[in-house]
Structures are given as structure tokens and as C-alpha cells.
Amino acid sequence: MIYLDNSATTKPYKEVLDSYITVSTKYFGNPSSLHSLGGEAEKLLHHSREVISSLLKVENREIIFTSGGTESNNLAIKGTALSKKHHGKHIITTSVEHPSVTNAVEDLWKEGFEVTVLQVDEEGRISPEQVEKAMTNETILVSIIHVNNETGVIQPIEKIKKVVKNYPLASLHVDHVQGIGKVPLNMEGIDLCSISSHKFHGLKGNGVLVVKQGVKLHPLLSGGDQEWKLRSGTENVAGIVAMTKALRMTTELSEKQLDTIQSLKDQLFHKLNEIKEVAINTPFHDSAPHIVNFSVPKVKSEVLVHALAEKGIFVSTTSACSSKRKAPSKTLSAMGLSKDRSETAIRISMDFATTKEELDLFLKELTNAISTIKRVTR
């Protein structure tokens, strides 16, 4: 099997699964319980918070455990809007966000909030000048994805920080789900930041929202006031411990192998360019090292995905949250690409275990599949 769909989800590390089983078996107490079993679970929770905050270079109390990227994004966006609605009702986002951001913002627009959607250029990127032009004294939130989940394009977060900080009412939220472990992000100057465990070899159902000190959020869940009263519900301690191990292991691998995965991407770009039927959608520069998006015009992407799957090679079309809906890629359409390019897109997403041999076999089978599909559909 050759797995090239790591942006959809990653395979959990064996050590992560071992951690989950150990904690679930031996430390299954409720961390809010007063007895010793609950106390042991609470210690594991505190230790996980300390390790993750150290890895992300933030404070312990700024870590809020959630169920994943979607919840983190919704808590950041709706929690900010509800806490600041009496001060301002203007939100800025982009045309290439993940659905968990786009739909959360749309919900607020229906409730009377003003929304500015920044359009991207032909590479899928916005500029700090666009943000500056859109900012007003009523702006309460700027929500921008760091690494695009479809194309891997990196947004200029460092420059955008400098714009937003001049508006004291506005919070900056960064969806870092696709960037974590692959594209470094300096948390200084970011008010809210989302990550998801299953994108870095942890388990599904766990995530983190970084909420900087002084940033006010209205909780979306009412209950037992866990997670500093921002996210009620008994914590998934086993999943959190497993996520902590996954983040530590991924961080260590990133320090050693980031150059290797970048080299593989460079080679993949070069060889895809040699296939005349292929049009690459991901820009070569200022894009993540693990994602390459391309189209094969006039060849349906779902047909190509299934053809490769029959050879044991797993890729995807658009994002996993949208891939089962037969519609053009929202991101590629926003970049100004044709309907045909947007409807025939394929996404390759690697991890640190991906090898040159796997990519060579993928390219061989891709070429064969394109030839076969074109021959039978003439």
C-alpha cells in the first residue's frame, strides 16, 4: 500500500496507540473525581498540557483541549463573536478557508454579523495590504488558514500579525491544522490557533485551541466548566495523552526530516511537469513541503482516484470534508482556474515515511491510468 492522503488523516504511530491503550486501561478515572484514580488521570492531563504548551511555545493555561480542528475553529470564531458582539460585529476571513471556518462565519453572517471575504490571487494567497484595507474599528476577528488544505499554499501570517495588532478590538485566529509539524508557525502575535491530532499521527477526536491570555471567548458548550470554563465535558484523557506523544514525535521527526520531504516534493514537481496531460495547481514557492495539487483536464478525478486505489495507491480529490460532493474545488475556483481544472484536481499529501520509490511507483501508475482512461473514454 502507498498512502498519499495524509492531509485527510495520518496513520497513528504505534507508540501513540500503545499510550492510548495504557491510559484507557490503567488510568480510566474521571480527572474531575476526588479519589486517587481521578487524581492520577488529572496528573496525566496536567502533564499533557505542560508538554503541548512547551512544544507550541505558549503558556500552560493557554491550551484548551477539544475534539479536533472543527470544534477548535468553531470555538475560536463563534466564541469570539459572542463575547465581543456588543463591541463590534465585523469579521474578516478568506475565500479559501476550510469548511469549518467558512460555515461558522456564514452562521454568524445569518445572525447579523458583517463579514468581509478576502479574495486570493492566482496562487491562492492573500496579501497583508488586503487585510489592512478591510480592517475597521468594528473588526473583532480575523480568521485565516495558515496552510491551505487543498493546495498547500502558505498565507503570510507573520505580516498579517503586524496589521491586526494595530486594532486592539480584533483577535487573530489561525487555522494551523494542515501546517502543524510541517510548516513552522511562531505563536507570538496570534490570539487563537487550532490544531487537530489526527493530522500529525494522533487519534481522531482530539484537538487543541490555543487561547492566549487576555483573549475572551464565550463557551459554546454548557456543563461542568472543564478547560478553564471554555469547553465543558469530561476530558478524553487517553486521547489527549496519545495526542501529546504524537505531537512530540512529529516535532522530533520534523527537525530531522523536513528537508527530506521538501526534496521529495521538488522531485515530484519536476516529474509531474514532464507528464504532458498534467497541470500543477500548487505554486512551487511558498507552499507546504508535503502537499502537491494537480489536475488532469478532461479526466474525472474520482475515476483517477479509483484507478490508483485498485493499484494500492491512495490519493484524494479536494479536501476530505468535500471529496464526496461532486463539485468543483472551491479553492481552485477562487484562484481563477477553469471549471475543468477545478473539477479534475488530485491532491497528493505525504508524511515523513513517504519514500522516493513510492513516488516513482505512483508516477508510473498515474501515467498508465491516464493513458487507459483516455483510451476507453474516446
Q: Are 269 and 194 in the same domain?
A: no
Structural domain total, the chain: 2
* Cell digits of residue 85: 458582539
Pairwise CA distance, residues 68 & 200, whole Å:
12
Q: Are 185 and 155 in the same domain?
A: yes
**CATH classification of the domain holding 369:** 3.90.1150.10
Q: Are 200 and 282 in the same domain?
A: no
Pairwise CA distance, residues 38 & 324, whole Å:
42
Q: Are 59 and 123 in the same domain?
A: yes
Which stretches in the chain have pLDDT values below 70? Answer: 319-326, 377-378
Q: Are 95 and 234 in the same domain?
A: yes
pLDDT confidence of residue 324: 54
Q: Residue 9: helix, strand or coil by DSSP?
A: coil
Q: Which domain holds residue 352?
A: 2-7+257-376
* Domain's final residue, options 223, 248, 273: 248
Decide if 164 contacts 156 (C-beta within 8 A).
no
* Cell digits of residue 198: 489526527
Task: Provide the annotated active-site residues.
Answer: 321
Q: Residue 174 is which amino acid?
A: V
pLDDT confidence of residue 106: 98
pLDDT confidence of residue 328: 84
pLDDT confidence of residue 142: 98
pLDDT confidence of residue 323: 47
Q: Are 224 and 298 in the same domain?
A: no
Provide the β-strand partners of residue 208.
Answer: 65, 195
Q: Residue 185 is which amino acid?
A: L
**CATH classification of the domain holding 153:** 3.40.640.10
Q: Are 217 and 345 in the same domain?
A: no
* Domain's final residue, options 207, 229, 248: 248
